[in-house]
Amino acid sequence: MKARGSILLFFLLIFSSCREEMPCNHFNFGSETVMLADETYCSENLELTMQVEEINESRCPEGVECIWAGQVSVSFDLKGDIDGKLQLASLMHPLDTIGDYTFQLVRVDPYPKYKQPLERSDYRITLIIDRLN
Mean pLDDT (the chain) is 86
pTM: 0.80
How far is Cα 19 from Cα 40, in angstroms, rounded to an integer?
16
Q: What pLDDT is stored for residue 23 in this prediction?
A: 81
Q: Is 99 helix (H, G, I), strand (E, B) or coil?
A: coil
Provide the residue count of the chain.
Answer: 133
The answer, yes or no, to whether residue 8 has pLDDT greater than 80, is no
Q: What is the pLDDT of residue 21?
A: 55
> Do the beta carbons of residue 105 and residue 94 sit within 8 Å?
yes
- Summarised one tens digit per residue, pLDDT across range 89-120 is 999 999 999 999 999 999 999 999 999 999 99
Which segment of 20-24, 72-76, 110-114, 129-133 scores lowest on mean pLDDT? 20-24
Percent of the chain topping pLDDT 70: 83
CB atoms within 10 A of CB 12: 10
User: In the 8-state DSSP scheme, what is residue 81?
Assistant: S
- Give the separation between CA 6 and CA 10, rounded to whole angstroms: 6
Give the whole-angstrom CA distance, residue 115 versus residue 61.
9
Question: How does residue 123 score in pLDDT terms, banded at 50, 70 and 90?
Answer: very high
| Residue 25 contacts residue 49 (beta carbons within 8 Å) | no
Question: For the residues of 4-57, what is the DSSP string, one character each?
Answer: HHHHHHHHHHHHHHSPPPPP-EEE-TTSEEEEETT-EEEETTSSEEEEEEEEEE
The pLDDT assigned to 15 comes to 42
Rounded average pLDDT over 47-66: 95
What pLDDT is attached to residue 81?
87
